Amino acid sequence: MESTDESEDNLRESRQSPEVDQDFVAPPQRVSQIDSVTYSSFLRSLDDEHLIEHINSCSQSKDHSQITASIHDSKLIASSPRTNRVERQLSLDEHNFSSVSTDPFDDDLDSQLLGASTPTRATANPNDDSADAYPDDEQNNTVGEIHAFGDYATYFRTKHLKQQKEDEEYIKWDLKRRAQLNGGRAVAVKPIFEGCIVYVNGHTNPSINEIHRLIIVHSGKFISYLSNKGAATHIICDRLTPKKKVEYRNYKVVRAQWVVDCVASNELLDWTQYRLISEIEYGQKRLQFGDSPTRHSGSDSVTPSNESDSELANSMADNNEDPLLEELEDDFIEPIEPSGSNDVGSKGEKKIMDAKHPEFLKHFFANSRLHHLSMWKADLKLRFLRRIVKENKSGETKRTSQGIRVIFHVDFDCFFATASCLNRPELDINKDPIAVTHGGKSSDVASCNYVARNFGVKNGMWVSQAKKLCPNLIMLDYDYKRYESYSSEFYNYFLSYDIFDSIFPVSIDEVLIDASSHFAQNEENLVDMVNALSTRIRDDIFKFTKCSVSVGVSRNVMLAKLALRKAKPNGQFFLYEGVDEFLDSISVKSLPGIGRSIQERLADVLNQPKTMDIYIRDLKAFSKTKLISILGDKTGVKLYEYARGIDDTSLVIDTSNPEALLGRKSVSVDVNFGIRFDTVSELDDFLIRIAKELYSRLISLGVCGSNLTLKLAKRAPGAAVNPAKYLGMGYCDFVNKSSHLGVPTNDWGIIGSELKALYRMVNVPVKELRGISISLTKLRDVENLKSSKQMKLPFKKTKELVRTEFGAFSKLKPIDSIQIESGSKRKSNIAEGNVNISGYHDYFNKESEIDWEVLDALPWDLRREIQKELERRGMIPVSPSKAPPGTKAYLQQLIPTQIGSTPKYVRVFEKPQLKSPRKRQKLHSKSPSPNKQVMVGESQFYDCSVINELPLNIKAEVLKDMKYRKKVKEFDMTALKDKVSMKYEKSKAMVDEVSSEWISQQRTILQRPKFLNEKVSVHQVKLQLDKWIQSSLIQKGPHVDDVHVFASYLKDLSKQNVNSSMILINHIWKVLKYHESILAMSVLVESDEVMYMKEGIAEWKSSIDVHLLPIVDSDFDI
DNA sequence: AGAGATTCAGAGC
DNA sequence: ATCGCTCTGAATCTCT
Ligand SMILES: [Mn+2]
Ligand SMILES: [Mn+2]
């Protein structure tokens, strides 16, 4: 019925506005032969993504002469059921038997049906668990022999494997049950859903179980996942995340109520009345964009399930009283494009500081408040972790389990505003309305004081709006250095106490303190003591920083946070008694970890407007089960307990396992500002820069990772090309792609190439890019990796000593760019090896997930059309004039990562692996300049295809032979060597660049030696140096990065004490002499190790000359 | 009935 | 102009 109409509607509509939904564009109707004009215009009408889908879908057709027809069909199958005729025969009324409590499904269908189809549903008891996926036990009563078919719990658990069979059994069982209830007579169940294949996504009301039951009982088919796309005819879903919305565009996505209503009315109702994704919604404005400082994060769009689209549009237009909406609209105003200015003037346009600028990252991060906040936080967490490790406090938990906890939460009042204000003596933070911001009209208010807040100004607001609310708002600049120094005072203050069980940094301006044991003995005057300490803290911090802090205290973290909220500004509050009354009037959103999403989901259930506050007293009406069904397992329980003042969040810093000692699980670099590219080449450059940024962070953290994720923000359809915020990201969809590197690495070259490859696997045109994030996970400690590699070497490292180093110098421990050699055999991937050298990727403007095998298998005429279209779009390089390029090999070579998803690289970087020095030494000895390090095997191409094999196949004696040289020449070693050294030079230059950036980062840390009272003795440094020298000698000398870092350390040290620097350099010299003398005595005359070490010593000496001595500069002589 | 991948949401100013 | 980061834990998906 409606399905056919629907497709035609879509066809019609898409002809009118081809941009809206191209999935239903009609392919040519001709079947027997290809009308290339029609077909190519069809191809042309598809956007990139759909074009690729189309190509790949061709594989489903065996008969290529009918390809267009098949394509047509497969599209339609995906979007409409082909056989959904409904039998109109009468059957038993559903209500007559559906409410039997012995139904193993028992979900009280009656009340479902009644409640759902009447308005009174809205006022239903929030504790109504009838639709829960967590039926109470007592509902699973037996029903005699019928139970022999198995209870539904078991049935459901195994459904993934035996679903169909089980479904049949359930239907039989159900019929039997119905018959039984009907006095033994057989019952006909109307096959309402015949032909429907249904998939349920996410939480629904009624529950997935219930939908499953209703569907199969009425002859529909239920599938558990969408692995085979297109299999489902309907998707049942009540809440769609943006990602899913895109994914499900081609399906009929209906609300769960559709199923209920169908059953209630006993016929297949028009699904479009229940659709969750409206036709015109795609590409339209979406709500929820103006209210949070992190507007870009998470879901920008949420389907307005209760509003029609026109309402949505109207609300956008009408609601001008809400300044947030106004701001939102700004985002969709298309400014006059200075057309052409982007493309021309390739030389002199370096003025714009966007991501094309080589210095952009540096500039951006130097100014980004969120970047600073994140980095500060990470740094603090690491410092406190190391503090615990060093003092061997095992998480700092003296406290025993009994007794009341006393948690302090201390936080600066509007930190940035207060701190920045201190630079402006003429201003009064208590009288003048003040905000910290970059100043432009679409600039964010990072922090505003309480005077400004009285005008309605809020953090995260744009200046234009804040000015409207408070025309006299005074805007101050950021002053990150100042913030750091106040924070340092703040933390050092708390570290000066020794009464605390635990000090837990929350952020630059905020700390949680467990003081339980301090108050454990005297409970009688607990309140007075706590208040006294709170006052003292506030007074002291103010004395040190002239900034006001507030203090909240209570028996757990959540309550302390709420107490702090009440205390602000410039106050203190000990929430001790009357917790329940206190909680009642707290709004849910102000609970930690509870944000807008949860608030809205609750509002939905309570049938309140989304924006209306929900208070904890409202929450108490919900049972735990109900909350779990709404919010999920953990969150449901958490909220349930929060509502009762329960929170067992621990302030213990975890040091219990190696992963915890790493201090983090991921390292990432996000840039969602200033991302504007015109060509893929520009993007590639940026990807390399961002990879280097990641690399430098990895180096200073001493970690490697093996899983890389690229997250792209793509301008949303309908969003302005230039958002209201200058260089902002505007309104975006997000695309993730991640890859297993196979082995841990920190190598920016590898990361960079992989990023390029990842970009080419998604379908985001360069010009649409608005944000780029990269993230490395599955982290490993470099020291661990190194030591595991060095086990079989004479100089064995003890990682523990290094591990427990703490303070400034711990960041300076010698760190090699990690070198790992994959033991597993992998495919030789020549194309990959060419990435950096030939630059083949410049041919691409777009990328794809095109299945080349499918394309290659197509008949010639079809393939030609598709290839023409791909070329036209720049998605494949223009064919060489001579031959049709359609050979598989050729195309695969172009997309190297297509070949096998199993990787990929051998991660060998910068230095030859110790494992097999022999081979490299021999190769190296052929180099015309033996003193210069040649980094072999930087890419797997060289490493695996040629070099690795040599030493295994050729004996040492033979190596000296002329035959060897001949043999080597047969391998074209000269050309290879040239390439290698070329690449080496290039990468060395880039490493230098990186390390200088890195060093500049390090310096800021070193400039605060007082912080955390960490001092490193010269003796410790010497020990460290010994280890460094020893480990590096067999690698032919120190790593350039390490030298630079050490040099920068020396530089700082020299400022305080030149003598210490000289002592250290002298020490290095002595150690080198020591090793030299050992070598001289060595019996092994020509062993490779000896040669390596000699070379290493030479390299060390030159490093001293070049890098270290100039620092102490004077007439210092060794 | 759990592992691994992906996605979301929330936090700080 | 404008500097819309970064990490975590939970939920959800997919597959076995
Ligand atoms: Mn604060
Ligand atoms: Mn804070």
pLDDT tens string A141-173? 323 333 333 344 344 444 444 556 666 666 777
Say how far residue A82 (Cα) sits from the centre of its chain: 40
User: In angstroms, how far is C5 C1' from A458 CA?
Assistant: 19
Q: Which residues contact A209 (CB under 8 A, 6 or more apart)?
A: A105, A107, A133, A152, A156
In the chain, the amino acid numbered A888 is K
User: In angstroms, how far is B1 C1' from A159 CA?
Assistant: 13
Express each pLDDT in A83-103 by its tens digit: 222 222 222 223 322 222 223
Q: Which residues contact A103 (CB under 8 A, 6 or more apart)?
A: A109, A143, A177
User: In angstroms, how far is C1 C1' from A839 CA?
Assistant: 35
Q: Which residues contact A295 (CB under 8 A, 6 or more apart)?
A: A289, A460
User: In angstroms, how far is B12 C1' from A470 CA?
Assistant: 25
CA of A299: nearest nucleotide by C1' is B8
If you measure from the C-alpha of residue A560 to the centroid of ligand 1, how many angstroms do you get, rounded to a whole number? 14
Q: Tell me: pLDDT of A1066 over 50.
A: yes
CB-CB contact of A733 with A713 (8 Å): yes
Smallest Cα–Cα separation from A208: which of A264, A152, A248, A166?
Answer: A152
If you measure from the C-alpha of residue A477 to the centroid of ligand 1, how many angstroms do you get, rounded to a whole number? 17
Q: Which fold has domain A161-274?
A: Rossmann fold (3.40.50)
The residue lying closest to nucleotide C11, measuring its CA against C1', is: A632
If you measure from the C-alpha of residue A497 to the centroid of ligand 1, how many angstroms do you get, rounded to a whole number? 22
Express each pLDDT in A25-66 by its tens digit: 223 222 222 233 334 434 444 444 445 545 544 433 333 333
Q: Which residues pair with A739 in a beta bridge?
A: A708
If you measure from the C-alpha of residue A466 to the centroid of ligand 2, how many angstroms do you get, rounded to a whole number? 21
Say how far residue A6 (Cα) sits from the centre of its chain: 38
Express each pLDDT in A308-337 by its tens digit: 232 233 333 333 333 333 344 444 444 434
Which tokens sit at A212?
A: 């499953």
Which own/partner pairs from A382-387 qualify as long-range (CB within 8 Å, at least 24 positions apart)?
A382/A663, A382/A664, A382/A701, A383/A505, A383/A1011, A383/A1012, A384/A503, A384/A504, A384/A505, A384/A653, A385/A653, A385/A655, A385/A660, A385/A661, A385/A663, A386/A663, A386/A806, A386/A807, A386/A810, A387/A806, A387/A1012
User: In angstroms, how far is C4 C1' from A370 CA?
Assistant: 9
d(CA A532, CA A530): 5
If you measure from the C-alpha of residue A549 to the centroid of ligand 1, how many angstroms do you get, rounded to a whole number? 8
Ion ligand 2 residue ranges (Cβ < 5 Å):
A 411, 507, 509-510
CA of A371: nearest nucleotide by C1' is C5
Q: Is the ipTM of this complex over 0.95?
A: yes
**Residue A111 — very low, low, confident or very high, per pLDDT cuts 50/70/90?**
very low
The residue lying closest to nucleotide C8, measuring its CA against C1', is: A665
Q: What is the mean pLDDT of chain A?
A: 64
Instruction: Tell me which nucleotides of strand B come within 7 A of a protein CB.
Output: 1, 5-13
CB-CB contact of A219 with A91 (8 Å): no
Which tokens sit at A399?
A: 């406290």
Predicted structure pTM score: 0.58
**3-state SS, one letter per residue, for A253-307:** EECHHHHHHHHHHCCCCCHHHHECCCCCCCCCCCCCCCCCCCCCCCCCCCCCCCC
Instruction: Give every strand in the sheet of A572-574, ordered side by side.
Output: A502-507, A510-514, A407-412, A549-554, A572-574
Query: Where in chain A are the domains?
Result: 161-274, 664-787, 1018-1114
Q: Tell me: pLDDT of A1057 over 70.
A: no
SS3 A409: strand
| CATH of region A664-787, choose from 3.40.190.10, 3.40.50.300, 3.30.1490.100, 1.25.50.10 | 3.30.1490.100
d(CA A678, CA A929): 43
User: In angstroms, how far is C7 C1' from A388 CA?
Assistant: 21
**Residue A305 — very low, low, confident or very high, per pLDDT cuts 50/70/90?**
very low
If you measure from the C-alpha of residue A1003 to the centroid of ligand 2, how many angstroms do you get, rounded to a whole number? 26
The residue lying closest to nucleotide C16, measuring its CA against C1', is: A161
User: In angstroms, how far is C11 C1' from A631 CA?
Assistant: 9
Q: Which residues contact A1006 (CB under 8 A, 6 or more apart)?
A: A808, A1048, A1049, A1052
pLDDT of residue A445: 98
**Ligand approaching nearest to the C-alpha of A561:** 2
User: In angstroms, how far is B8 C1' from A839 CA?
Assistant: 37
CA of A415: nearest nucleotide by C1' is B13
**Residue A593 — very low, low, confident or very high, per pLDDT cuts 50/70/90?**
very high
Q: Are strands A572-574 and A407-412 parallel, antiparallel or unpaired?
A: unpaired
- Backbone dihedral angles phi then psi of residue A633, each to the nearest 5 degrees: -60, -60
CB environment A708-727: b (16+ within 10 A), e (fewer): bbbbbbbbbeebbebbbbeb
d(CA A585, CA A508): 30
Express each pLDDT in A355-404 by its tens digit: 999 999 999 999 999 999 999 999 999 999 999 999 876 655 555 567 89
Q: Tell me: pLDDT of A206 over 60.
A: yes
Average pLDDT over residues A859-872: 46
Smallest Cα–Cα separation from A826: which of A908, A902, A890?
Answer: A902
CB-CB contact of A743 with A822 (8 Å): yes
Q: Tell me: pLDDT of A447 over 90.
A: yes
SS3 A731: coil
SS3 A118: coil
**Residue A513 — very low, low, confident or very high, per pLDDT cuts 50/70/90?**
very high
d(CA A129, CA A144): 26
pLDDT of residue A1076: 67
Q: Poorest-confidence range of A301-310, A472-481, A1021-1030, A1082-1091?
A: A301-310
If you measure from the C-alpha of residue A653 to the centroid of ligand 1, how many angstroms do you get, rounded to a whole number? 22
Q: What size, in residues, is chain A?
A: 1118
